Amino acid sequence: MNVIQTEIDGVVIIEPNVFGDDRGNFFESFSEKVFRENVCNTRFIQDNESKSRYGVLRGLHFQKGEFAQSKLVRVVNGRVLDVAVDIRKGSPTFGRHVAVELTGENKRQFFVPRGFAHGFVVLSDEAVFQYKCDNYYAPQEEGAIAWNDPDLAIDWKVRPEEILLSEKDQKHPLLKDAPYLFDFQTNYYG
């Protein structure tokens, strides 16, 4: 596997080794041992999957405090733009983001550490999105920031009038008004 460092420390793109021939292809999508040796020492305990149509934007979400989550995300079918925003107060990259296109064809994965808000938008007619989490979902500890915060200046690659949001995702605060953020100095991995 090839681990690509991004401009924000800890946020990485992972390209698996894909073996193909005229029958199709095979790749190892996850190995705990290889992940720990090459990315970080975390243990994933929950897998999730969503299916969405073009223009659906989910995010920018995070979980708070002891319920914080790291995510390892990938697209099984289709194409999305995936985004991680640094929301760690005191971080030299606070408020900056990394965006990466994930597709069923490129098989890239994106690691989003704790202390980051995460979201994605579907760029194809439909997409199947999978992600591993290193902490259980706790609805009472959800946090989020607005997908269209002008200070973040995220280019979602979809015209704003084509963005489809849940009712909940229409009401998130701007980063500067968010009531809960992470502390850059805290080790969220115990």
Determine what percent of the chain falls in helix, strand and coil, rounding each to the nearest 5.
Answer: 10, 45, 45
Tally the C-alpha atoms within 13 A of residue 165's C-alpha that lie toward its C-beta.
Answer: 17
136 is catalytic: no
Tokens of 15: 């390209």
Q: Which of 141, 143, 138 is nearest to 172 (CA)?
A: 143
131 is catalytic: yes
Q: Rounded to whole angstroms, how far apart are CA atoms 90 and 93?
A: 8
Provide the Cα torsion 174, 179, 183, 186; round to 10°: -130
Q: Which of 61, 97, 118, 172 is catalytic?
A: 61
Q: Which of 114, 106, 37 is nearest to 74 (CA)?
A: 106
Element (H, E) at 38: helix 32-38
Q: Which of 118, 131, 172, 188 is catalytic?
A: 131
Q: Catalogue the active-site residues.
A: 61, 131
